[in-house]
Amino acid sequence: MKQTSLTVLMDEFDTFLLDQFGVLLDGARAYPSAPAALSELSRRGKRVGILTNSGKRAGPNADRLESMGFDRTSFDAVISSGEAARSVLSGMIGKVLAKDAPVLVLSRDGDLSCIEGLGLTRTEDPAAAELVLIAGSRGEEMSLDHYAGILADPASRGVPALCTNPDMTMLTERGPAFGAGRIAELYRELGGQVDEIGKPHPLIYRVAMERLGAEDPAGVLCIGDSPAHDIRGAHGAGCMAALVRTGIHAEEPLERVLAGAPPGDHPDFVIPGFAL
């Protein structure tokens, strides 16, 4: 594990996969130096993907980055777990799900982009749901007990759930809160079954490298703030990994962050922030 900087790492890799929250955004706005650093990667001809566990599709995530001061041309693609999940959902229709199956969607900002255009029907009645889609958490304003009340019925009926954002903790304007991954864990505690898409699971990395034309994972550097998601996922995909000291563990000493973590969760590099 090497303490270094983004400036040094820019010269060592051809392709960069960047986490969105904790690396580029603090939950409410862009980190001050992040837009310029992202533009510099692009100026140097690097392939840049934003790899995010957001349950929203790529378009809304790209729009958000642009609204917060990032140049749309400074990244080649946004690969979100919501985008990957849409492909999975499309493949389920007519096999696991009826074409107009009612889906209980748990998301942020009323986002339904994962099911729009697929013919699936959104329901707000847990008793009618044939699929639970856990795309986002409103943990800063709703308790786990509230979610348990919503999910108890479908879990008891064996309704399958798909979690498109496995993050256990998320950054919000009010501070850290439990993420969609924690809601997925709650669903299992209630007796339900959940499939997860996103970091650290391998599917999203395969999609990302295909989108960017990165044939050799050893030439890809993933930068994130979560050892259990960003670092573990990068290593599982054969990529190198850098832990940024902003984001969800910003206030904790590095030794505590990595204490007891398995070897795969230990980064190859540690950088103070996504800045030049």
Inter-CA distances, 60 with 24, 71, 108, 216, Å: 16, 15, 12, 29
State the CATH number of the domain containing residue 145: 3.40.50.1000
Q: What is the pLDDT of residue 93?
A: 93
Residue 257 resides in a domain: yes
Listed residues 139, 163, 196: the one ending a domain: 196
130 phi, psi to nearest 5 deg: -110, -5
Structure tokens at 105: 């969607």
Domain boundary among 168, 196, 224: 196
Q: Domain ends where: 145, 174, 196? A: 196
In a domain, 26, yes or no: yes
**95 lies in the same domain as 182:** yes
Q: 227 in a domain, yes or no?
A: yes
Tens of each residue's pLDDT in the chain, 276 residues = 999 999 999 999 999 999 999 999 998 899 999 999 999 999 999 999 999 988 888 999 999 999 999 999 999 999 998 888 888 899 899 998 999 999 999 999 888 988 999 999 999 999 999 999 999 999 999 999 999 999 999 999 999 999 988 889 998 888 899 999 999 999 999 999 999 888 998 889 988 999 999 999 999 999 999 999 999 999 999 999 999 999 999 999 999 999 999 999 999 999 999 999
The structural domain count of the chain equals 2
Domain containing residue 31: 2-53+200-271
In a shared domain, residues 223 and 155 = no
What's the rounded Cα separation, in Å, for the pair 245 and 225?
7
**What secondary structure, in 3-state letters, does 132-189 show?**
EEECCCCCCCCCHHHHHHHHHHHHHCCCCEEECCCCCEEEECCEEEECHHHHHHHHHH
